[in-house]
Amino acid sequence: MVETQQCRKIFISLLVFCIFYSINVLTVEAKTHYHVWDVKYTYKFPDCYKKLAITINGESPGPTIYAQQGDTVVVRLTNTMLTENVAVHWHGIRQYGTPWHDGTDGVTQCAIMPGETLDYKFVVDRAGTYLYHAHYGMQISAGLYGFIIVKLPDGVSEPFAYDHDHTILLKDWYHGSTYEEAVGLSSIPFKWVGEPQSLLINGRGRFNCSAADTASGVCNATNSDCSPYSLTVVPGKTYRLRIASLTSLSALSFEIEGHNMTVVEADGSFVEPFVTKNLYINSGETYSVIVKADQDSKRNYWITTNVVGRKPSTPTGLGIFNYYPNYHYKYPTTEPTTGPFWNDTASKLAQSRAIKAHHDYVTAPPPTSDRVIVLLNTQNLVNGIYRWSLNNISLSLPLTPFLVSLKHNFTDTFDQNPPPDTYDVENYDIYSIAENKNATSSNPIYSIDFNTTVDIILQNANTMSNATSETHPWHLHGHDFWILGYGDGKFNITKDAKSYNLANPIMRNTVPLYPYGWTALRFRADNPGVWLFHCHIESHFYMGMGVVFEAGIDKVGTLPKSIMGCGKTKHMINP
């Protein structure tokens, strides 16, 4: 009897211990990562040419934010620029429950004024490779950008193996200021930003300084800012490279001389692996590739980026793939790779089509959608200025952020007429300059029923120049979408919808629209808030290339006062 009681006691103690142990071991506590950022202008020489760059704690690119799935990130951002507002967007982070911290000036917040501080706080709910960057004016081009790396929970691994993990951030670089660019784009006569002067890899490039510029100190080839990016690898080891682009304009082809890359991740989703010699990458896209250091280890190899999609006039961006123990700055004696033909759209399209969901990680899209929105991308004139339009409306951001207006039922702060769900599909000739060149500059929003499924068809067309159509990387805030398909020419709903990939489409937040083609996406409007969908070419967005979606605004909690203070909310921060 006593023995049985003792046994029971021991059993119960063991049980309690086991429960206690498993609660402690299996429940990994989510952490909060605090960052304090001082955003200011600093003289930098990223490509040896002196420029006032917008830096975070003196750095451009800014510091990488590391976190683990489920963690909270807090960034206390103080704007110490003298004369310029700022806002920072957390690109790829969906902001469930915190739509006010998406960081989009005019859409989800009032920009942070000089001298002011804002605490951004959000949960990184999913592992993957993400970004942050300015979302005010054209400040990405001034250097405000960086990585967010979210690791998987402990004990969970990716469907690929590697020994080391590295980040590579690509950028195009202009010597002029963002003011010169923005003023040119809104002047008569219109002045286009043109092609960049340099291509940077992890913030480093090399401009060919003229003697005069060297003599005046404007260009300094010995400045340590512009020593080349060198990635040291150990022979035989396998590397995961997280490659992302935050170019202001350029689509790029990325290559490591003599090495194949296996693409395994895109915008946080695992990809059915495929091998490529060069990776096409547009602004706003992130990838992980696996590279094996399995070549001749007695030498180094070039890492290159080349402009594609637009006729290039920028020299190849150069870095060094350094085999240990060779000297890490020893240039290869071979010629740097020049990349594929800039206008080889077919090979870009083929690579885009090859990006499918990994077979073990397919999230099937809903088989049908509740609404189809067709967005015709055109270049037009508005009051004599070149603008980009969607269904003839060019987006102008309101003084009062949409999110604030909608939560407070303001009806006089933005255009209340719903924008059109399509264009004149039958009669519009996508191969010619628009007959009616003029468009309207306005700020209406698409109201989407909460938790419904929406298809977006991006339809490309001719610009205002003869026989020209451009590539546009489209980025959606607050969601991932399934990429259902790409096609040439005008989208035909009865024919083309039958070709959709509903079996294993990749989910991403950024997707290219190719010249004279269409791209079809599907998303669930399951994130309460107001979300921007726009071309990630900074000047194109500045020229109106975006639309705004609202869904479930009644489910959005109380907005923090810290995002207000502009437009009609001026009185709302000070009683």
Ligand X SMILES: O=C1O[C@H]([C@@H](O)CO)C(O)=C1O
Binding site for ligand X (CB under 6 A): 192, 379, 386, 463-465, 470, 540, 543
**184 backbone dihedrals φ, ψ, rounded to 5°:** -60, -40
Nearer to ligand X by Cβ, of 84 and 172: the residue is 172
CB atoms under 10 Å from CB of 467, counted, come to: 10
Angle, alpha carbons 18-21-23 (nearest 5°): 105
CA distance 421 to 216: 55
Nearer to ligand X by Cβ, of 333 and 383: the residue is 383
Nearer to ligand X by Cβ, of 395 and 563: the residue is 395
Contact 143, 55 (CB under 8 A): yes
Which residue lies nearest ligand X, judged by its C-beta? 192
Enter the tokens of residue 12.
């119960």
Q: How far is the CB of 234 from ligand X (least distance, A)?
A: 43
Nearer to ligand X by Cβ, of 276 and 440: the residue is 440
User: Which of 358, 286, 345, 348 is closest to 505 using CA atoms?
Assistant: 358
DSSP tally for the chain: helices H, then strands E: 7, 32
CA distance 425 to 104: 32
CB atoms under 10 Å from CB of 414, counted, come to: 22
Q: What strands lie across the sheet with 472-476, from one edge to the other?
A: 446-448, 546-551, 529-535, 472-476, 510-513
Q: How far is the CB of 37 from ligand X (least distance, A)?
A: 31
CB atoms under 10 Å from CB of 100, counted, come to: 26
CA distance 245 to 486: 21
Alpha-helical segments (H) within 438-497? 493-496
Nearer to ligand X by Cβ, of 94 and 540: the residue is 540
User: Which of 549, 381, 504, 526 is closest to 452 using CA atoms?
Assistant: 526
Q: How far is the CB of 176 from ligand X (least distance, A)?
A: 16
Nearer to ligand X by Cβ, of 96 and 190: the residue is 190
Nearer to ligand X by Cβ, of 457 and 543: the residue is 543
- Is the C-alpha dihedral spanning 405, 406, 410, 411 positive or negative? positive
**494 backbone dihedrals φ, ψ, rounded to 5°:** -70, -40
Nearer to ligand X by Cβ, of 79 and 460: the residue is 460
Q: What does the H/E/C string look like for 101-122?
A: HCCCECCCECCECCCCEEEEEE
Q: How far is the CB of 192 from ligand X (least distance, A)?
A: 4
User: Which of 491, 484, 482 is closest to 430 using CA atoms?
Assistant: 491
Nearer to ligand X by Cβ, of 453 and 463: the residue is 463
What residues have CB less than 8 Å from 458, skipping those under 6 apart? 375, 377, 472, 474, 511, 513, 518, 519, 520, 521
Q: How far is the CB of 431 from ligand X (least distance, A)?
A: 16
Q: How far is the CB of 266 from ligand X (least distance, A)?
A: 25
DSSP state of 351: H
Nearer to ligand X by Cβ, of 126 and 310: the residue is 310
**233 backbone dihedrals φ, ψ, rounded to 5°:** -125, 150
User: Which of 565, 552, 185, 543 is closest to 397 using CA atoms?
Assistant: 543
Nearer to ligand X by Cβ, of 386 and 549: the residue is 386
Residues in the chain: 575
Enter the tokens of residue 190.
């219109």
Nearer to ligand X by Cβ, of 517 and 567: the residue is 517
Nearer to ligand X by Cβ, of 192 and 324: the residue is 192
CA distance 559 to 263: 40
Query: Where are any strands of DSSP class E within 158-268?
Result: 164-173, 198-201, 229-233, 238-245, 251-256, 261-266
Q: How far is the CB of 470 from ligand X (least distance, A)?
A: 5
